[in-house]
Amino acid sequence: MAVQFDKGVVIGADSRTTTGSYIVRIIAYVLTAFIVPNIYTCTCQANRVTDKLTHVHDRIYCCRSGSAADTQAVADIVHYYLQLYTYVFITSSTFLALRTARQMRNSSPPVSVAARMFQDICYENKDALSAGIIVAGWDKEAGPSVYNIPVGGGLFRQPWAIGGVFCMFLF
């Protein structure tokens, strides 16, 4: 789940993992100053906790739903591509000598570029992947932004987005 507001983005996810038909553990997790109480649905032998929020660049995160292996692989690939993008398009300009170290640290790719990278990978591999991804972050051009990439590889910019199996209960 991600929500855009005037000065930033709030992104959050649970850590629920399923083993067959059992929900192992659910803990609310939010990446801001908001505090959400822990919610436990059952007590089981297994304790598989998954971090569904992935840091892909300085001010860009993604919230993953679907196959954990698929979404983690896509997030790792986009993280790598964003590092290359930053090196090629931001730090390797012809005026590199004129830029200060602080300017280079504060330079990051637009959130739309990261969302488009996720969308390209998900759409090109839609028959092989089970991946729904929400990309959220802040950049200098657009400010705060939230993009939803559902299973199949569509790309939708929205002020808020929810995803995953139980998103109908939040709506």
| pLDDT score of 86 | 85
- Which stretch of 87-91, 114-118, 128-132, 150-154 has the lowest confidence by average pLDDT? 87-91
Helix (H, G, I), strand (E, B) or coil at 132: strand
| pLDDT score of 45 | 40
**pLDDT tens digit string along 138-168?**
998 899 999 999 998 899 999 999 987 655 5
Task: Say how far apart CA 138 and CA 147 lie, in whole Å.
Answer: 12
Average pLDDT over residues 67-89: 89
Q: Show the domains of the chain with their CATH numbers.
A: 2-160 (3.60.20.10)
Who's near 135: CB < 8 A, 6+ residues apart? 56, 60, 61, 62, 111, 114, 115, 118, 146, 147, 149
Phi and psi at residue 114, in whole multiples of 5°? -65, -45
* Bridge-based pairing state of the strands 18-19 and 22-23: antiparallel
- Taking residue 15's Cβ as centre, other Cβ atoms within 10 Å add up to 17
CB 61, CB 11: distance < 8 Å: yes
- Which stretch of 19-23, 86-90, 92-96, 159-163 has the lowest confidence by average pLDDT? 19-23
pLDDT band at 7 (very low <50, low <70, confident <90, very high): confident
* Bridge-based pairing state of the strands 60-66 and 131-139: antiparallel
State the Cα torsion 113-159-39-150 to the nearest 10°.
-50
pLDDT band at 75 (very low <50, low <70, confident <90, very high): very high
Q: Is pLDDT of 99 > 80?
A: no
- Residue 66: enclosing H or E segment and its boundaries? strand 60-66
Of 124 and 94, the structure prediction assigns the larger pLDDT to 124
134: its two tokens: 């929400």
pLDDT band at 13 (very low <50, low <70, confident <90, very high): confident
The CA-atom distances, in angstroms, between 25 and each of 38, 66, 67, 122, 133 are: 10, 16, 17, 28, 21
Task: Say how far apart CA 122 and CA 7 lie, in whole Å.
Answer: 29
Q: What is the pTM of this model?
A: 0.74
